[in-house]
Structure 1
Amino acid sequence: MSTLNQEKKIAKRVTLVGAFWDAVLGLVKIVAGHFSQSQALLADGIHSLSDLITDLFVYFTSAKSRQGPDHNHPYGHLRFETLTTVFLGLVLIIVALGIVYDSLSNQSLKPQSTWYGLAAILLTIIVKEAIFHYTKKAGEQINSKMLIANAWHSRSDALSSIAVLAGFVGIYLGYPQADVLASIIVAALIAKLAISMIWENLAELVDTAPDPELIKRIVETAQSLKEVMAPHDVRARSMAGKVYLDMHIHVPKNATVSEGHYLGDLVAYTIKKAHPEVVDVLVHIDTNEKIQTDSLLREPTTEKPPLLKLPARNQILADLKFLLRQHESYVDIPDTRLHYLHNHLSLEIIATSDLVPEQADLKQLTASILQDIENAKYIKNATVLWRIKS
């Protein structure tokens, strides 16, 4: 089973458990609040039922957000989770405002401190605290901000029940207005949680960088590899608690393409292994001729780099084919190695000694090859490498 499918299964299971208890506790508190004429207890019951609504959103979104990339969503569907969390925050703000309105418009009721109301409150505190730890642990296990936010939603229900309990104590002591005050406290707790959820996830939707300490640890991980030097231009974005990373690294200037690819894969693997929240790493390979360590991120520019003023491989090979036409029987033009270093171009010409004319002197042929390519003024220097087939 893939990681995304495992995460989807965990999220669904945890959410269904929470939804069951939210439904039970919500109904119990609403019934107890009705017979106790307690606005605070009724508000707390509505809060629990609002948890049930958010559980349903979380349940269906967890399935959608854990789907893999497709043609329309090449980075996957994790942002559905972020967007849903913002929506949940808006729902909670509406719930909080409704609770305040109901509390202030029904002050003629005379709340009573009843044993069944007290039992409903105590049951809520115990169960919701247990659900908080259960859901938060699962959210941390699969690194899901949505599940963690839902866990804190459960914790807010437990905290609001404590406020209701304080209101019941006030009623028992002869202060009926304590019930209204407790319901307003419940609404304030819900609103505070909602605003935090919205703010954090809106920041993610506009690609705010993850925690700078995390980026610092990631850079240190890359620097721990001896073959890699000066990681820089590090960029990262978050998607529902997952991190997508872009990074430039320096490798030895004479490294081949395959070695550069190997080192890029090594960096990506090492980072993802050390930091499980990083799910994708795109590595750009630079040579070590100009190592800059003063900044991890440079300002974007449209200025053409000096190296790009030099011709590309196709043009160079076409020029070499013409310049070395008298050597074409033993010079392998397509295998020519290009080195774009220090804003100059260096070549390694590959020739086969077994194919040269008999009695030919390799030193003289080498000198002749180097002399013929001098007409290509963009070539800084060149080397001829002879290989033996037999």
Structure 2
Amino acid sequence: MTQLIQEQDIAKRVTLVGAVWDALLGVAKIAAGYLSQSQALMADGIHSLSDLVTDVFVYFASANSRQGPDENHPYGHLRFETLTTVFLGMVLILVALGIAYESLMADSSQAEFTWYGLAALIATIVIKEAIFHYTKKAGDKIGSKMLIANAWHSRSDALSSVAVLIGLIGVYFGYGWADMVASIIVALLIGKMAVSMVWENLAELVDTAPDPKLIAQIKETANSLKHVMAPHDVRARSMAGKIYLDMHIHVPSHASVSEGHYLGDLVAYTIKKAHSQVQDVMVHIDTDDKIQTESFILESGKPPHLKLPARHQILADLGFLLRQHTNYVDIPNTRLHYLNNCLDLEIIANSLKTPEGSDLNQLTARILQELKTTNYINKASVLWVFPE
């Protein structure tokens, strides 16, 4: 939770800095474009102000998307960031279409070269490029696709200003149409960036899998651990640049529940440490004998070991079969091993509670003999404990 709050503060601070400069540069270019009768310069000013509008959306999205999970949003609020990015892209597409339309309808012959227009463009190129690096560095640091998209929006403003600068120079040398061409280039730049933004984030909203190379690297990370074999059935989805991962791993057949839980936590920790973009890992534990039965499962649709009885039924059977041994056999703590589609039992018995003078070997033989009356036990053993 603390990390999410820190990321939220970084996103809000960076966005506010960009918003202040977008407002100043937008007003300056629109004023210079109006005085110069340059449609391209005014269009570039509108582009900067559109950055300001997106900054407002990004600011409020940052304040909400980095909140932790709650009852209604168990996976957190990161999809608010994705949805906001899609909305911003659609707004920018409309901006691009409007700029292109105004450029084609305007009379570019009235455009004039002015030194204040030139100064506004050069200032925009320098400042917006600096804002791009500042914002992108922050976006990479906290893994925010929305912040990175906003950074590229800033760079598109710098690039469009370069196009307008070329058009303004063309006007200076008597090519009035250069202003219109530059304005259309601005619209194309904005449109291309916006379409790419919408497409990438729509793919995220429908849970498109991340880069296959990244998934392969994650599987290699898990497979590098001892006693963890064949990571498989890996599923992943992205939320605002963060990856949520589900995967199966094989562990040794006789691993206890606690050991399996330990290995699952070890896998999750190792993956998150090696791949910073992974936010959460859900690990399903399979025993290594399951490797041999996976093809059968695919054909029949039901794992063979599910035909065996569950724990409550087995304990009920043991309570009846071992009713003469209940004084010293700890039936509730019987260990069950579902291995190779068979059931192995470990019966726990207390040596101090046996009748005086009892032979433990004879008691063990009697217990095992009585267990043979079942048709589902493959192997059984008796573990005698000797409390101090």
Same fold per superposition (TM over 0.5): yes
Cα separation, 2, equivalents of 1:301 and 1:186: 57
Q: What secondary structure, in the 3-state scheme, does the structure 2 residue paired with 1:291 have? A: helix
1:224 CA drift (Å): 1.4
Q: For each residue in 1:51-104, what CA deviation from the matched residue of structure 2 results, as whole angstroms up to 9, or x when unmatched?
A: 000000000000100000000000000000000000000000000000011111
331, 335, 338: which one pairs with 2:333?
A: 335
Alpha-carbon spacing, 1:302–1:51, altered in 2? closer, same or farther (3 Å) = farther
Alpha-carbon spacing, 1:299–1:108, altered in 2? closer, same or farther (3 Å) = farther
Q: Name the amino acid aligned to 2:143.
A: N
Farther-moved stretch of structure 1 (228-237 vs 15-24): 228-237
Cα separation, 2, equivalents of 1:351 and 1:274: 45
Aligned to 1:356: 354
Name the TM-score, length of structure 1 as normaliser. 0.97
Alpha-carbon spacing, 1:299–1:234, altered in 2? closer, same or farther (3 Å) = farther
Aligned to 1:115: 115
Aligned to 1:60: 60
Cα separation, 1, equivalents of 2:313 and 2:156: 67
Q: Aligned pair 1:213/2:213, yes or no?
A: yes
Aligned to 1:311: 309
Aligned to 1:152: 152
Q: Does structure 2 conserve the Cα–Cα contact (< 8 Å) formed by 1:125 and 1:161? A: yes
Q: Aligned pair 1:252/2:252, yes or no?
A: yes
Q: Does structure 2 conserve the Cα–Cα contact (< 8 Å) formed by 1:32 and 1:120? A: yes
Cα separation, 1, equivalents of 2:113 and 2:208: 49
Aligned to 2:79: 79
Q: For each residue in 1:4-55, what CA deviation from the matched residue of structure 2 results, as whole angstroms up to 9, or x when unmatched?
A: 0100000000000000000000000000000100000010000000000000
Moved over 4 A (4+): 298-302
Q: Aligned pair 1:173/2:173, yes or no?
A: yes
Farther-moved stretch of structure 1 (49-58 vs 222-231): 222-231
Q: What secondary structure, in the 3-state scheme, does the structure 1 residue paired with 2:155 have? A: helix
Cα separation, 1, equivalents of 2:193 and 2:232: 37
Alpha-carbon spacing, 1:196–1:336, altered in 2? closer, same or farther (3 Å) = same
Q: Does structure 1 conserve the Cα–Cα contact (< 8 Å) formed by 2:108 and 2:179? A: no
Q: Does structure 2 conserve the Cα–Cα contact (< 8 Å) formed by 1:346 and 1:382? A: yes
1:217 CA drift (Å): 1.1
Farther-moved stretch of structure 1 (148-157 vs 214-223): 214-223
Unaligned runs of 5+ in 1: none
Among all aligned residue pairs of Structure 1 and Structure 2, give the percentage whose two residues are the same amino acid.
Answer: 73
Cα separation, 2, equivalents of 1:246 and 1:6: 26
Cα separation, 2, equivalents of 1:171 and 1:49: 24
Cα separation, 2, equivalents of 1:108 and 1:303: 70
Cα separation, 2, equivalents of 1:51 and 1:97: 16
1:108 CA drift (Å): 5.8
Name the TM-score, length of structure 2 as normaliser. 0.97
Farther-moved stretch of structure 1 (164-173 vs 358-367): 358-367
Aligned to 2:141: 141
Q: What secondary structure, in the 3-state scheme, does the structure 1 residue paired with 2:208 have? A: coil
Cα separation, 1, equivalents of 2:336 and 2:239: 40
1:290 CA drift (Å): 3.4
Unaligned runs of 5+ in 2: none
Aligned to 1:42: 42
